[in-house]
Amino acid sequence: MIEGSKDIEKEVLKKITSSPRERKELEHVIRQLKKEVTKEIEKSKLKLSIELVGSTAKETYLKDSVDIDLFVLFPTIVPRKQLQETGLSIGRSILENQEECFAEHPYIRGTYKVFKAEIVPCYRIESASQKLSAVDRTPLHTKYVKEHLLESQKKEVRLLKQFLRGVGCYGAEAEVEGFSGYLCEILILKYSTFQNLIINAQKWRYGKKLFLDQKKSPRFDTPLVFIDPVDSQRNVSSALSEEKFNLFVKACKEYIKKSRITFFFPYEIKPWPINKIKKEIEKKEFIWVKIEKPPIIPENLYPQVRKAIRSIIDLCERYDFTILDSRFHINDTSVYILLLPRKRTISKTMLHMGPPVKLKKNAEEFIQRWKDNPRTTRKPFEKDKRLYVEIKREYTDIKNLLEEQVKNQSLGKHIDKIVQKDFTILERDDFLKDNLRAFWTEYLDKKMPWQR
């Protein structure tokens, strides 16, 4: 037992577990939704079935985060186009506040009564080897967990989910790059209890491999590898980033040292005043690239923003601007990319290294190329048996480089279209704005969520 944790975890479970009355209300709504979906299925005249999947089916959901995931199962002989059209038609006819989403094929997300709900079409399969898309595996995941997870372990899954949420690691979506709900469930199947997992996870290193049934599987180069018990070719933790893996391991170590409820329910960030932020950043030469936010779903937006950052850093370093740190911030209208260069301006000239003198043909070509070049400030010369030339830099100020070259980089399909039209390089006064105070506070404060 982790010292001091028993009472904390007991209190957490009270907050995150639905009461019998709330569970009864949810079950009633699920029955109603199933009836409505069944009526729509009858209209289609196809041999379809419905199955409740996800955390509500497995009873591992958190009280304040209830999603009803209802899958409509189609025979594998039904064409993909018909599956999509029928699935979307059923979802559109029932759910409110609906939104069309995509996971290899489209489905409808919305609300039913007071709950979030998804109606997702998939193919009915008996094993993962029969899958026609990744979605088809989900009912198999639900079945596996329901068959193997003990009643007493459901609360352990809830504790793990809330712990991950508290430290900022819960969710496999692109915005978070953390632990999925299914990964939480099989981690408890692996380690039996939340505490046993925490004690073991504090020792994890990059590349840690886990499995429930040891079967032949591919090699995966990810921070954590957990082989899917229903599909030995899949790594359940493939979405987990190295940053979130390291954050979880650190949180486990800290929880064992001193457990506290803020690991589960951290305090909200209290934004610093602008003057305090200004004082903290005035000695550093931050620069921002501001881009209009593309009208795309987060699952597509976040990977593109990360790609854009990598491309912009590569651009800077090609022109000898070393980037010490980078971050991004997204609000309702804009994407902000923060860069911290070692120096904002660099020398006007640079030494460009050529070939060894003994490689006569290469050396002659180097001399011919640079001796009368307009960028040359000192003609080719020999040093330590190698040729060098001093040349003018193309860019000496990172702002000029970004203004002229960002639009020529591959930043992501939708971001590329936007930067061709417009983007802004922000100066210090431009990014000391009220709507960025929370971002700056979190960035500069350096405290872990549980330390605030």
- Contacting residues for 402 by C-beta, under 8 A, at least 6 apart: 287, 289, 312, 315, 316, 425
| DSSP-assigned beta bridge partners for residue 383 | 386
- Here the tokens at position 129 are 């080897």
End-to-end CA distance of the chain: 25
pLDDT over 80 at 103, yes or no: no
What pLDDT shows up at residue 133?
82
What pLDDT shows up at residue 287?
94
Q: Rounded distance, CA 406 to CA 398, Å?
A: 11
What pLDDT shows up at residue 407?
94
What pLDDT shows up at residue 129?
86
pLDDT tens readout for residues 315-341: 999 999 999 999 999 999 999 999 999
- What are the C-alpha distances in Å from 353 to residues 174, 368, 381, 384? 42, 14, 10, 11
- What are the C-alpha distances in Å from 77 to residues 50, 72, 90, 130, 246? 17, 15, 19, 12, 45
* Residues 376/328, Cβ–Cβ less than 8 Å: no
Q: List, in sequence order, the alpha helices (H) in 3-153.
A: 6-16, 20-44, 54-58, 80-94, 138-148
Residue-range domains of the chain with CATH: 18-135 (3.30.460.10), 151-263 (1.10.1410.30), 274-345+396-451 (3.30.70.590), 349-392 (3.30.70.1550)
pLDDT tens readout for residues 255-313: 999 999 999 999 998 999 999 999 988 888 899 999 999 998 888 999 999 999 999 99
- Average model confidence (pLDDT) for the chain? 94
Q: Classify 41 as helix, strand or coil.
A: helix
pLDDT tens readout for residues 224-261: 999 999 999 999 999 999 999 999 999 999 999 999 99
pLDDT tens readout for residues 165-207: 999 999 999 999 999 999 999 999 999 999 999 999 999 999 9
Phi-psi region of 293 (alpha: psi -120 to 50; beta: other; left: phi over 0): beta
* Residues 284/338, Cβ–Cβ less than 8 Å: no
